[in-house]
Chain A
Amino acid sequence: EAGVVQSPRYKIIEKKQPVVFWCNPISGHNTLYWYLQNLGQGPELLIRYENEEAVDDSQLPKDRFSAERLKGVDSTLKIQPAELGDSAVYLCASSQGQPNSPLHFGNGTRLTVT
């Protein structure tokens, strides 16, 4: 089965510019996650979707971050405007949706804000 696909792999932008990340989850996985990973740290949850519904966005900085999963499959994560501290790896993951299911991760987008 194809894994979680993310694009782009790398993105370099200047501060105050917008940036959008895209994720295609594993087919049949109705739960999708966006995680933030800083250097030397484990992934931290930004938002979780069950189909089209964002069921946990408590950790998403809503003043500058937004996410969509309009048809319950692909998802986008947008930062506008980006700040220097947003430089990190943004990981997308999906799972089958049963409680306590393992997550399957994409390879992430490494964002550098200059």
Chain B
Amino acid sequence: GQQLNQSPQSMFIQEGEDVSMNCTSSSIFNTWLWYKQDPGEGPVLLIALYKAGELTSNGRLTAQFGITRKDSFLNISASIPSDVGIYFCAGYTGANSKLTFGKGITLSVRP
């Protein structure tokens, strides 16, 4: 199946540190999306990637579409307390495919 793997399940970092998360699959994806979910809220789109090798930034966030099209990376630089939350990767394998989500990584930031 079209499973997206995110690990570890939880990450703990110090405020000001950079953090990198990755998302991998055995299937080829043609679109990667990164979402953040705060407690009690729905996922919010952070970055969308549409081409292999694409590198896109959104403020302190940078994401890359892997060259193999089977992975994607999200980097957060100079973390702050409000970066706390669950980060999901999601992707489409084709034009008419459904959006598949990973299980998410819970990020904690120590002040």
What is A's interface to B at a CB cutoff of 8 Å?
A: 4, 40-45, 48, 56, 91, 93, 99-100, 102-108, 110
Contacts and interface: CB of A to CB of B under 8 A. Distances in A.
B95 A107 contact: no
- Chain B residues touching A, majority SS: loop
Contacts of A56: 98
Interface residues of B, number: 25
B58 interface: no
Nearest to B29: A100
A54 to B, nearest CB: 13
Nearest to A58: B98
A4 B90 CA distance: 19
Interface of B: 4, 9, 30-31, 33, 35, 40-45, 48, 50, 88, 90, 92, 95-96, 98-99, 101-104
Contacts of A48: 98
A106 B44 CA distance: 9
Contact of A105 (B9, B43, B96, B104): B43
A3 B51 CA distance: 27
Contact of B102 (A4, A42, A106, A107): A42
A100 B42 contact: no
B103 A41 contact: yes
Contacts of B50: 100
